[in-house]
């Protein structure tokens, strides 16, 4: 790992790999680079190249303090597009019962790499499924109506506007039909909501939201599902090195979408 990529591995990620994964501090860099290189061969997502795949954002959200407690009480969390499932490991490191947590990703190889990264195949009891969210007959359909909390990090932005409506509706159908269930997450957003070219996305486009467009989209989804959602969203400046890939008005958008 170069000194630049070394600094891209957050303190949070280092702590988790050391304390939960049991990787000695002096071996973490080589260990992460080895897994990163294997992951890049699976699919060259920019976040993998940039070592963002170990970013931990859930623990910094306003809802996080309640999440391990809810899981301990029997609620269930779904990590949509979990990739290496680092957020799940953080929850377990913070005392959440791993069996109440599910993760789903298109690429089964990432689940294997997650076990390799965190060295926990024999102790983690979370449930992982490989499924394409667009596949109506996937194992996701069996899980409808069974979750209280969903984490979605850097996922919805992979799609154009119409596909975001479809995948968001599928995710919303995972909720138990009670008030208070929520989706928490973050993704690439913008000051001026619009579609942008993005080479690794299925349609070559990504729709970037601002808080207002996200709210409007969820009003439509709620209308179609006969449910209402509140959207609490904020924009955050990106670190300067992200501007290699983004434009002046690009931001991160953080959101909590609650079922009323």
**Could you list the residues that contact ligand SAM (CB under 6 A)?**
45, 47, 53, 55, 81-83, 105-107, 110, 132-134, 153-155, 158
Give the Cα-Cα-Cα angle 17, 20, 44 (nearest 5 degrees): 40
The residue (of 173 and 228) whose beta carbon lies closer to ligand SAM is 173
Which residues are CB-neighbours of 26 under 8 A, at least 6 positions away?
Answer: none
Residue 260 · residue 229 · CB < 8 Å? yes
Q: How far is the CB of 203 from ligand SAM (least distance, A)?
A: 12
The residue (of 107 and 205) whose beta carbon lies closer to ligand SAM is 107
The residue (of 148 and 163) whose beta carbon lies closer to ligand SAM is 163
Spatial distance between the Cα atoms of 185 and 131, rounded to a whole number of angstroms: 20
Q: How far is the CB of 73 from ligand SAM (least distance, A)?
A: 25
Spatial distance between the Cα atoms of 43 and 38, rounded to a whole number of angstroms: 9
Residue 194 · residue 251 · CB < 8 Å? no
Q: How far is the CB of 211 from ligand SAM (least distance, A)?
A: 20
Q: How far is the CB of 83 from ligand SAM (least distance, A)?
A: 3
User: Helix and strand tally (H, E) in the chain?
Assistant: 9, 9
The residue (of 110 and 255) whose beta carbon lies closer to ligand SAM is 110
Q: How far is the CB of 171 from ligand SAM (least distance, A)?
A: 10
**By beta-carbon distance, which residue lies closest to ligand SAM?**
153
The residue (of 74 and 244) whose beta carbon lies closer to ligand SAM is 244
Neighbours of 260 (CB within 10 A): 10
Spatial distance between the Cα atoms of 164 and 102, rounded to a whole number of angstroms: 21
């Amino acid at each position: 790992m170069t000194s630049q990529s070394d600094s891209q591995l957050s303190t949070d990620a280092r702590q988790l790999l050391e304390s939960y994964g049991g990787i000695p501090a002096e071996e973490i860099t080589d260990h992460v680079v080895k897994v990163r290189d294997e992951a890049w061969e699976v699919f060259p997502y920019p976040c993998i190249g940039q070592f963002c795949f170990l970013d931990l954002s859930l623990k910094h959200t306003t809802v996080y303090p309640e999440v391990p407690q809810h899981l301990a009480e029997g609620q269930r969390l779904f990590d949509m597009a979990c990739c290496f499932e680092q957020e799940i490991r953080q929850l377990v490191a913070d005392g959440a019962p791993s069996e109440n947590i599910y993760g789903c990703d298109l690429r089964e190889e990432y689940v294997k790499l997650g076990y390799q990264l965190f060295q926990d195949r024999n102790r983690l009891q979370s449930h992982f499924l490989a499924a394409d969210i667009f596949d109506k007959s996937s194992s996701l359909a069996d899980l409808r109506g069974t979750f209280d909390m969903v984490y979605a990090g850097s996922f919805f932005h992979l799609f154009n506007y119409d596909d975001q409506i479809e995948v968001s509706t599928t995710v919303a159908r995972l909720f138990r039909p009670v008030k208070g269930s929520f989706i928490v997450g973050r993704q690439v957003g913008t000051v001026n909501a619009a579609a942008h070219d993005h080479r690794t996305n299925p349609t070559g486009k990504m729709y970037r939201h601002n808080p207002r467009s996200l709210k409007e989209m969820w009003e439509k989804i709620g209308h179609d599902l006969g449910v209402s959602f509140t959207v609490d969203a904020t924009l955050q400046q990106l670190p300067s090195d992200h501007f290699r890939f983004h434009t002046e008005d690009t931001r991160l958008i953080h959101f909590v979408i609650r079922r009323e």
